[in-house]
Structure 1
Amino acid sequence: MTTEKVVEIQNISMNYHTLEGETLAISDLSFDVYKGEIIVIVGPSGCGKSTALSTISGLIKPSSGKVLINGQEVNGTNKSIGYMFQKDHLFEWRTILNNVLIGLEIQDKLHDETKKKAERLLEIYGLADFKNYYPSQLSGGMRQRVALIRTLAVEPDILLLDEPFSALDYQTRLSVADEIGSILKKEKKTAIMVTHDISEAISIADRVVVLTKRPASVKSIHEIELTLDVQRTPLTSREAPEFRHYFNTIWKELDIHVK
Structure 2
Amino acid sequence: MEQEKIGEIRDLSINYHSIEGETAALKNINFDIYEDEIIGIVGPSGCGKSTLLSLISGLILPTTGHVLINNRLVDKPLKNIGYMFQKDHLFQWRNILRNVTIGLEIQGKLNEKTELQAIEMLKSYGLGDFLHSSPSQLSGGMRQRVALIRTLILDPDLLLLDEPFSALDYQTRLTIADEIGIILKKEQKTAIMVTHDIAEAISMCDRVIILTNRPGTVKEIVNIDLKCEGEKTPLKTREAKEFRHYFNKIWKELDVHV
TM range (shorter): over 0.9
Q: 1:81, 1:158 within 8 Å by CA — same for their partners in 2?
A: yes
Cα distance in 1 for residues equivalent to 2:152 and 2:137: 22
Deviations 1:168-187 (A, max 9, x none): 00000000000000000000
Residues 250 and 136 of structure 1: is their aligned pair in 2 closer, same or farther, counting only changes over 3 Å? Answer: same
Equivalent residue number for residue 183 of structure 2: 183
Equivalent residue number for residue 240 of structure 2: 240
Cα distance in 2 for residues equivalent to 1:116 and 1:257: 45
Equivalent residue number for residue 129 of structure 2: 129
Once the 2 structures are TM-superposed, how far is the Cα of residue 3 of structure 1 from its aligned partner? 2.5
Superposed, which structure 2 residues align to 1:74-113 within 5 Å?
74-113=74-113
- Secondary structure at the aligned position of 1:248 is classed as helix
- Secondary structure at the aligned position of 1:165 is classed as coil
The number of residues matched between the two structures is 258
- Secondary structure at the aligned position of 1:16 is classed as strand
TM-score (ref. length: structure 1): 0.98
Gapped regions of structure 1 (runs ≥ 5): none
Cα distance in 2 for residues equivalent to 1:247 and 1:4: 28
Superposed, which structure 2 residues align to 1:63-82 within 5 Å?
63-82=63-82
Once the 2 structures are TM-superposed, how far is the Cα of residue 2 of structure 1 from its aligned partner? 4.5
Q: 1:2, 1:34 within 8 Å by CA — same for their partners in 2?
A: no
Cα distance in 1 for residues equivalent to 2:108 and 2:238: 42
Equivalent residue number for residue 203 of structure 1: 203
Superposed, which structure 2 residues align to 1:128-207 within 5 Å?
128-207=128-207
Cα distance in 1 for residues equivalent to 2:171 and 2:224: 24
Q: What is the identity, as a one-letter code, of the residue corresponding to 1:17?
A: H
Deviations 1:209-228 (A, max 9, x none): 11111111111111111121
Equivalent residue number for residue 45 of structure 2: 45
- Secondary structure at the aligned position of 1:250 is classed as helix
CA RMSD of aligned residues (A): 1.1
Amino-acid identity (%): 67
- Secondary structure at the aligned position of 1:10 is classed as strand
Residues 22 and 131 of structure 1: is their aligned pair in 2 closer, same or farther, counting only changes over 3 Å? Answer: same
Cα distance in 2 for residues equivalent to 1:2 and 1:165: 31
Residues 106 and 2 of structure 1: is their aligned pair in 2 closer, same or farther, counting only changes over 3 Å? Answer: farther
Equivalent residue number for residue 219 of structure 2: 219
- Secondary structure at the aligned position of 2:101 is classed as helix
Residues 121 and 2 of structure 1: is their aligned pair in 2 closer, same or farther, counting only changes over 3 Å? Answer: farther
Cα distance in 1 for residues equivalent to 2:257 and 2:46: 15
TM-score (ref. length: structure 2): 0.98
Cα distance in 1 for residues equivalent to 2:53 and 2:190: 14
Deviations 1:33-92 (A, max 9, x none): 100010010011110000000000000000000000001110100000000000000001
- Secondary structure at the aligned position of 1:52 is classed as helix
Once the 2 structures are TM-superposed, how far is the Cα of residue 7 of structure 1 from its aligned partner? 1.6
Cα distance in 1 for residues equivalent to 2:257 and 2:38: 28
Deviations 1:137-166 (A, max 9, x none): 000000000000000011111100000000
Cα distance in 2 for residues equivalent to 1:149 and 1:6: 22
Gapped regions of structure 2 (runs ≥ 5): none
Q: What is the identity, as a one-letter code, of the residue corresponding to 1:38?
A: I
Cα distance in 2 for residues equivalent to 1:138 and 1:231: 28
User: Once superposed, which parts of structure 1, at least 4 consecutive aligned residues long, lie more than 6 Å away?
Assistant: none
Cα distance in 2 for residues equivalent to 1:257 and 1:53: 21
